Amino acid sequence: MRAYRDQYAELFNEGRNVVVLGISNDSPEELASWLKDEDFPFLFGSDAENDGASYAAFGGSLRDNDMVDSRAVIVVGPDGRIAKVIPRFNQVDPAAYEELAAAVDAVTPAGEASSP
């Protein structure tokens, strides 16, 4: 997710009113510590205590062990609707960021500026 953070403004025009939410089975404390250290411009959610219920509520499919896939990413459009569920976001693969950018572009055209 560091690459996404570092490319956020350039690739996604500051998100263009799109919410990106990373969901994992990491504990809330682990995620809070990581977020504080890395200064990410997007949200993370822990499903560690909910047995995957939060992820499933966003439309994600749980693995056979009822856990969230490896660091899932949810894209929520400016209209508040879930635009894309990326079940396994590989943060070191450039193609993952292309898929994420395409999901953002699909709900907000690249030429559209974000609201102040």
Residue range 71-105, pLDDT digits in tens: 788 998 888 999 999 888 887 888 888 888 888 88
Do 15 and 42 touch, CB atoms closer than 8 A? yes
Q: What was the pLDDT predicted at 114? A: 45
**Residue at 112 is within a domain:** no
Which two tokens mark 89?
A: 């976001």
The confidence band for 112, taking pLDDT boundaries of 50, 70 and 90, is: low
Residues 6+ apart with CB under 8 A from 17: 78, 108, 114, 115
**Residue at 66 is within a domain:** yes
Q: What was the pLDDT predicted at 115? A: 46
Tell me the CATH number at 63. Answer: 3.40.30.10
Residue range 25-46, pLDDT digits in tens: 888 888 888 777 777 767 888 8
Give the Cα separation of 20 and 102 in Å (integer).
13
Which two tokens mark 45?
A: 């959610």
Which two tokens mark 57?
A: 């509520």
What angle do helix axes 2-12 and 94-107 make, rounded to 10 degrees? 40
**Residue at 7 is within a domain:** yes
Q: What was the pLDDT predicted at 116? A: 41
**What's the pTM?**
0.73
Enclosing domain of residue 21 = 2-106
Give the Cα separation of 103 and 116 in Å (integer).
22
